Every structure is written in structure tokens, then in C-alpha cells.
Amino acid sequence: MYKIVKRRELNPTVVMIEVEAPLVARSAEPGQFIILRTDEDGERIPLTVADFDRERGTVSVIFQIVGATTYKLSLKGEGDYLRDFAGPLGMPTKTEGINKVCIVGGGVGCAIALPIAKKLHGMGVKVTSIIGFRSKDLVILEDEFEAVSDELVVMTDDGSYGREGNVCVPLKEKLEGGETFDKVITIGPLVMMKFVTLTTKPFGIPCVVSMNPIMIDGTGMCGGCRLSLVKDGERVTKFACVDGPDFNGYEVDFDEAMLRSSMYKNFERHAYDAACNLLKKEEV
């Protein structure tokens, strides 16, 4: 059992929890993920490491309430326990050989982007962060990004905060204005990452994307997290859990990944409704 030592709501649907897991905290690195189960017979869900404290032996994860499991997870408070918490899984984000980086985060993906920005900033890398949200009330981690970025641009789709528009707008302006980066690292919704790669491609800058597909074991056993890379016209199957989650954005077949991410959409909607109904009944 793994104790939740701290819980914080970042916006109405995004929650951060800090969990006691000393063995995971010992070796976790930015870009890696964990798999947790809330309760016995619960679903295994992968969540990327948002922060870790080796001394306190804790790992923080940030999640958005999107389905039955994340809803149940959101109901756990400080002092409550998670049934399982395994990791760190996947390969850490590569941080070598970078002097100047642009980090592009979208929505809850910013939670994953932050530790990478933090690590690079700590290494003396010049960090430009572009973070985007749908509207003002969904903005998260602005102060945290401010602290680890040489430049921070906040975007909202509806213009209710920061600049209006999506993250590709300032990215494109910078690149067209002659700014260069050794690497662009982007984390967020698949469609956003796809458009970030399309934006950077004409400028020949390496673009790394962080994939977060459906998976079960996270150790390379089930193959559910597979995605296709297209390398020199050849399709190659990779497993996000052991080969990733970071991939060369120019090789990822995003259209397939988007379809695969919707495999259990109907099931999830029903499960979410069922979980909510069940809890409503318990309240009565």
C-alpha cells in the first residue's frame, strides 16, 4: 500500500498527488512513468512522473479526471492509500547535448513537461516554455514553469488568459523570426503534438514527443501500447512502455495513435457514468 501524503487541486479537473514510494523515488527520472491501481480489482493506469523527492521518498503525479479510474483516484485524500504504485517505467527523457530547448506543453501534458524543463534548467540549458490551455480556469503550473524557464509563453484557446491561440502560433513566430533550438520537446494531446511536429519540421529542428497510449503492465509484456514509426518509408512497431515514451516526432504515425487511443471510448463513458451513479447512491 502506498500513502498519499499530499493532494492539491490544480484546476477543477486536474489533481496532483504526492505518494510515498521510496523505491520508485530512488531512481525516477523526468520522462518516466508509473503504473498505479487505486484499489483491489482496479484498473492499472499509467501516469507520468511529475516530480520526485529522493530524500522524502515520494513521487508526485498529476492526473486529469477523464474516466472511472481517475474519478475514483480523485476521491482519495491525504492519508489515504493506493493499492499499487509501480515504477519507474519507460526510458528517461534524453537531456544530453542540449544548450537551448523549447518545451511545448498542452493541458495536463504540462505536468509531464515541467520536470523536464526543471531538469534542463538545472543543467544550465536555456529553456523556452510554451504552455497552452483551453481557457483561464484550466491553466496549471504557471508559477512552476516561470521558475524554470528563461522565457515563458502562456496561451489560451479563447484568449481568456495570456495570449489567444494554440501553442503552434508563438512557436512558428519564433522559428520564422530566426530563433533556433537544439531540440523541441512537446507533451500534450496527440493532435497538438502532431501539429507541433508539422510546425517544426520545415526548420529541421529535432522534435521529441512523449506518447501516452493505453497499456496494462508497462514492462513490455502486453503489447497494448504499440505504435507505428515510419522510418525511411518502412513501418516499424514499437512499444511505448519499453522503447519510449519519448519518440522522434517526425516518425510517429499520429493518425493511428489517435484512433488507438479511442479504442475503449464507449466503455469508458459507461464506466465513468456507472462510477458516478454508484457514488451518488452511496451519498443518499
Strands 226-231, 163-164: parallel, antiparallel or unpaired by DSSP?
unpaired
| CA-based nearest residue to 28, from 115, 141, 125 | 115
Q: CA 249 to CA 57: how far, in whole Å?
A: 33
Q: Which residues bind other proteins (CB under 8 A)?
A: 23-24, 27, 37, 41-44, 68-69, 83-89, 216-217, 219-224, 226-228, 237, 239, 242, 253, 256, 259-260, 262-268, 271, 274
Q: Do the Cβ atoms of 194 and 9 come closer than 8 Å?
A: no
In the complex, the smallest distance separating the C-beta of residue 251 from other proteins, rounded to whole angstroms, is 14
CB of 137 to other proteins, least distance (A): 27
- Cα(151)–Cα(171) distance, integer angstroms: 12
How is residue 220 written as a grid cell?
513490455
* Cβ pair 166, 195 in contact under 8 A: yes
> Among residues 61 and 155, whose Cβ is nearest to other proteins?
61
Three-class secondary structure of residue 37 per DSSP: strand
Least CB distance to other proteins at residue 41 (A):
6
Cell of 273: 457514468
Cβ proximity to other proteins, 123 vs 221, nearer residue:
221
By the 10 Å C-beta count (0-12 exposed, 13-18 middle, 19+ buried), 154 is classed as: buried
Distance of CA 153 to the CA centre of its chain: 18
Judged by beta carbon, residue 234 or residue 283, the one nearer other proteins is 234
Q: For residues 8 and 56, which CB has a smaller minimum distance to other proteins in the complex? A: 56
Closest CA to 114 of 26, 164, 185: 185
CB-nearer residue toward other proteins: 76 or 260: 260
Q: Please identify, using beta-carbon distances, which residue of 84 and 179 lies nearer to other proteins.
A: 84
* Smallest distance, other proteins to C-beta of residue 220, A: 5
Q: How far is the CB of 173 from other proteins (least distance, A)?
A: 30
Give the nearest distance from C-beta 247 to other proteins in angstroms: 14
Distance CA 102, CA 108 (A): 18
- Shortest CB 35 distance to other proteins, Å: 8
CA–CA separation, 9 vs 142, rounded Å?
Answer: 14
Smallest gap from residue 258 Cβ to other proteins (A):
8
Taking the least distance from each CB to other proteins, the nearer of 33 and 145 is 33
Question: Residue 123 gets which letter from DSSP?
Answer: T
Q: Name which of 5 and 222 has its Cβ closer to other proteins.
A: 222
